Amino acid sequence: MKPEILSVANIPGFDFPLMESHFTVHKLWQAQDREKLLAEVASRVRGIQATGTAAVEAALIERLPKLEIIACCGVGYDGIDVAAARRRKIPVTNTPDVLNDCVADLAMGLLIDASRGIARGDRFVRAGKWLKGGLPLAARVSGKRLGIVGMGRIGRIIARRASGFDMRIAYHARHQVADVPFTYHAKLVDLAANSDYLVVIVPGGKETFHLVDEAVMRALGPQGILVNVARGTVIDEAAMVKCLQEGVLGGAALDVFEEEPKVPEALWALDNVVLVPHIGSGTRETRAAMCKLTIDNLVAHFSGKPLLTPVG
């Protein structure tokens, strides 16, 4: 008998046929009546496949008496109640490293787009407006000051990408990182005040909720650009809208939002904002690697082997 896995969330590119070759998979996200499906399979489920933002709450964990592992397809796992899993000694895995390059690439792409007005220019040309005149001048990227909020795996790669643009790099993190050469700011507001661009790449969750508040955005200033490839909850979204509308924040480029897929309509009309639908890891190559690592963790567990990427 194949171990039974509860899939609580889909992610584009996930290889369900591969997972189904190893396990019996129950797709909760596809069920018309989720309560009915849970009632039927809860007593047999031994694993959960989730994504970083999918809710795997204590109530669900406690409802599955035979649950042995939660495998998250994503580097972030703030949607999973890790404390509740630990109380039952249930390991949680994620998919670090395999998506680092793609997220860093997107961060730089968003930064350049917001600064040079690429998406805005595309809309301008498609609307036939170029026939009536050109766009306002944009801002140069090379040689500017980049502040990175978070200096973990992805933060380091963003810094490496930015170094190719001769950017002056500084960062804020909970603690100073010993093996990086960049300027450290213990206070985020100080980093913002000394940056032209602020790229956010920290985990979501309670500890970072609204870390980037109105004071930080005002410090970044009317020429500054805020880039978020972390979690929507890290930025005070209402304060950001206010700052953008008032002109005290120069622009924003956002891959994530507080209540995805809902995006504040006030952002739609702003030409100094770039909006994309949480595509940081959204390449065929990276999603395939994330999927494989998720499944490999499940296979390792049920084969009695060490987990490849356990959380904590």
For residues 198 and 252, what is the distance between their CA atoms, to the nearest angstrom?
9
Q: Are 224 and 197 in contact (CB under 8 A)?
A: yes
Q: Known catalytic residue: 207?
A: no
From the candidates 62, 246, 259, 260, give the one annotated as an active-site residue: 260
Instruction: Identify each DSSP E strand in the chain by its residue range.
Output: 4-7, 24-27, 45-51, 69-73, 92-93, 145-149, 168-172, 183-184, 197-200, 225-228, 251-254, 273-275
For residues 283 and 257, what is the distance between their CA atoms, to the nearest angstrom?
20
Q: Known catalytic residue: 34?
A: no
What kind and span of H or E run contains 217?
helix 214-220
Residue tagged 């120069």 (tokens): 250
From the candidates 156, 218, 231, 301, give the one annotated as an active-site residue: 231
Cα dihedral sign, 146-152-157-158: negative
For residues 93 and 91, what is the distance between their CA atoms, to the nearest angstrom?
7
From the candidates 63, 116, 210, 278, give the one annotated as an active-site residue: 278
For residues 227 and 148, what is the distance between their CA atoms, to the nearest angstrom?
10
For residues 218 and 247, what is the distance between their CA atoms, to the nearest angstrom?
10
Q: Known catalytic residue: 278?
A: yes
Tell me the three state secondary structure of residue 292. Answer: helix
Count Cβ atoms below 10 Å from residue 312 Cβ, excluding itself: 8
| Torsions phi, psi for 242 (to 5 deg) | -60, -45
3-state helix vs strand vs coil in the chain, percent to 5: 40, 20, 45
For residues 257 and 230, what is the distance between their CA atoms, to the nearest angstrom?
9
Residues annotated as catalytic (active site), given as ranges: 231, 260, 278
